[in-house]
């Protein structure tokens, strides 16, 4: 009798759970259809897919096989690929060495050379190896080597990633601003610097440039910024191409703005790194006879890159797990582009964006995802030319749950709308991708994406759709 009652209770519970799940799917279908009929999406393309996170079963899908611009949700695939191919404990190493020889009086008849490995975190304020920490370690190593004077230069060796810093397809308005900072074989301070600004007294006045932080005397700033009306805030852009020494500031800087200024992409991070080390040495009385330079500049001027005599210091980056945390949490585009090139390099290919994307696509194709569903051309999703289906992205997110590194990946995902989901936003594109566990303990993989919507405030409407899963 007891066994019969238990069977009845179990059957009731299973039926209730099934009905509950079916109701949720009906609710999300209704919510998404309402979204598709919204005035803001009249000329848009939107896609949604919901998987059972335990089984991978498609619970609901609409337009899931259409490739859409991903914005920063592409970072989930880049991070998953990096974890898979590099390992969660992977670390970059940057080496300080010298060429030539050191005389008994401490004169280095040669050059100090900083050899980059593509580490995007070198001198970043997010980690232990901040700018001053790195410079202090290098100064200590130089002193321990007995060097008191350099009859040569400080050289930033940036060769490992080649000379193309920004992926093809990036928008001119993005390049030059901090979020459009390209890669470098010798990255430095996340390849950015700050420009402090002050608005004028009226909209007829120009906004003023106060200073750069740190000082960048080798960059000329042409200020074309206007003063914006009160409440308009930051509508400024820096136009500063890679390897250029002239930055044009355009747009407006609003009256009453609380920000001190903008962050701008370094045009040549390896040169800035060499310059900072040289400047630090000069202030400490260790002079160099030649200006700071880079391996790229030496090659450009048909000068030989000196051979190393001795390595004197190695800076080791945080682990990939730590890098991925900030990559996903704060959506640092530089990290994605550096990881994509590193993926290519560690797979035995040239360290280029294209080869990294090819490696990434082939990796997931081997796991059953159609290559044509992943038109990937960068690592961060900043390019509007990326096209990935929500089905492909959801499949990646489902498959990685069984990996030993998945807890680190999951921890790095931001939380929006009470869900662990990565956001993505570029011009008229908004997307979210990640995971959700509802009040009953049901787990879902979710990817939602809308391209070419109109107006503003679209995220609230996306959240209204996802709320049907709560």
> Can you give the pTM of this predicted structure?
0.93
Q: Which residues are within 8 A (CB) of 184 and not within 5 positions of it... i.e. 6 or more apart?
A: 116, 118, 158, 161, 165, 191, 268, 269, 270
Give residue 21's pLDDT.
62
Q: What is the mean pLDDT of residues 85-107?
A: 98
pLDDT, one tens digit per residue, over 3-15 is: 545 444 444 444 4
The pLDDT, as a whole number, for residue 330 is: 97
pLDDT digits (tens, 9 = 90+) for 439-464: 999 999 999 999 999 999 999 999 99
Query: What pLDDT is stored for residue 22 in this prediction?
Result: 73
Residue 278 CA to chain centroid, in angstroms?
Answer: 29
pLDDT in tens, 107-137: 999 999 999 999 999 999 999 999 999 999 9
Can you list the domains of the chain with their CATH numbers?
28-88+321-469 (3.40.710.10), 93-163+269-315 (3.50.80.20), 178-265 (no CATH)
* Backbone φ and ψ of 282, nearest 5°: -60, -45
Identify the residue with better confidence: 52 or 14. 52
State the chain's mean pLDDT as an integer. 95
Residue 46, strand partner residues: 450
Residue 399: the pLDDT is: 98
At 23 the pLDDT is 83
What count of other Cβ atoms lies within 10 Å of the Cβ of residue 293? Answer: 21
pLDDT of 17 higher than 80: no
Pairwise CA distance, residues 221 & 338, whole Å: 27
Asked whether residue 359 carries a pLDDT value surpassing 80, the answer given is yes
- How many Å apart are CA 267 and CA 188, to the nearest integer? 11
What percent of the chain shows pLDDT beyond 70?
A: 96
Q: Which residue in 270, 274, 293, 267 sits closest to 181, CA to CA?
A: 267
Q: Report percent pLDDT > 90 for the chain.
A: 94
298-307: per-residue pLDDT in tens?
999 999 999 9
Instruction: Give the pLDDT of residue 2.
Output: 53
pLDDT at 367: 98
Helical ranges in 65-218 per DSSP H: 74-86, 131-144
List, for residues 233-276, the tens digit of each pLDDT value.
999 999 999 999 999 999 999 999 999 999 999 999 999 999 99
Q: What is the pLDDT of residue 3?
A: 54
Q: pLDDT-based confidence at 394, cuts 50/70/90? A: very high
CA-CA distance, 390 to 289, in Å (whole number)? 57
Euclidean distance between CA atoms 450 and 348, whole angstroms: 36
Yes or no: say if 44 and 343 are a contact pair by the CB < 8 Å rule.
no
Can you count the helices (H) and strands (E) in the chain?
11, 23
């Amino acid at each position: 009798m007891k066994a019969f009652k238990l069977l009845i209770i179990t059957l009731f519970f299973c039926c209730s759970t099934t009905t509950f799940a079916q109701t949720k799917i009906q609710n999300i279908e209704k919510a998404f259809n309402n979204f598709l009929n919204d005035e803001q999406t009249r000329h848009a393309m939107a896609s949604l897919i919901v998987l059972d996170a335990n089984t991978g079963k498609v619970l609901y899908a609409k337009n899931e096989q259409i490739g859409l611009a991903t914005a920063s949700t592409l970072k989930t695939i880049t991070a998953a690929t990096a974890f898979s191919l590099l390992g969660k404990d992977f670390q970059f190493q940057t080496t300080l060495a010298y060429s030539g020889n050191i005389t008994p009086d401490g004169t280095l008849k040669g050059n100090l050379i900083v050899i980059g490995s593509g580490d995007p975190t070198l001198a970043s304020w997010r980690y232990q190896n901040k700018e001053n920490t790195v410079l202090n370690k290098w100064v200590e190593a130089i002193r321990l080597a007995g060097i008191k004077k350099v009859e040569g230069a400080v050289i930033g060796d940036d060769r490992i990633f080649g000379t193309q810093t920004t992926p093809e397809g990036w928008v001119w308005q993005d390049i030059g601003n901090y979020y459009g900072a390209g890669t470098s074989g010798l990255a430095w301070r996340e390849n950015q610097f700050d420009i402090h600004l002050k608005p004028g007294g009226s909209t007829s006045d120009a906004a003023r440039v106060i200073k750069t932080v740190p000082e960048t005397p080798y960059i000329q700033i042409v200020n074309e910024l206007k003063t914006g009306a009160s409440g308009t805030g930051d509508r400024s852009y820096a136009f500063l191409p890679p390897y250029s020494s002239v930055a044009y500031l355009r747009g407006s800087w609003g009256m009453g703005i609380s920000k001190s200024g903008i962050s701008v992409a370094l045009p040549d991070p390896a040169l800035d790194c060499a310059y900072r080390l040289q400047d630090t040495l000069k202030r400490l009385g260790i002079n160099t006879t030649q200006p700071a330079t880079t391996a790229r500049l030496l090659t450009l001027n048909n000068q030989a890159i000196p051979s190393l005599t001795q390595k004197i210091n190695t800076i080791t980056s945080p682990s990939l797990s730590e890098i991925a945390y900030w990559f996903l949490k704060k959506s640092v585009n530089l990290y994605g582009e550096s990881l994509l090139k590193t993926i290519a390099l560690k797979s035995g290919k040239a360290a280029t964006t294209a080869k990294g994307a090819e490696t990434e696509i082939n990796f997931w194709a081997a796991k059953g995802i159609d290559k044509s569903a992943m038109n990937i051309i960068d690592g961060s999703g900043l390019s509007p030319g990326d096209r990935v289906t929500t089905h492909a992205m959801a499949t990646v997110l489902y498959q990685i749950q069984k990996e030993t590194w998945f807890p680190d990946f999951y921890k790095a995902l931001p939380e929006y709308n009470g869900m662990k989901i990565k956001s993505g936003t570029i011009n008229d594109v908004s997307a979210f991708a990640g995971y959700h566990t509802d009040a009953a303990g049901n787990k879902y993989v979710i990817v939602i994406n809308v391209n070419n919507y109109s107006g503003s405030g679209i995220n609230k409407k996306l959240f209204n759709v996802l709320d049907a899963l709560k």
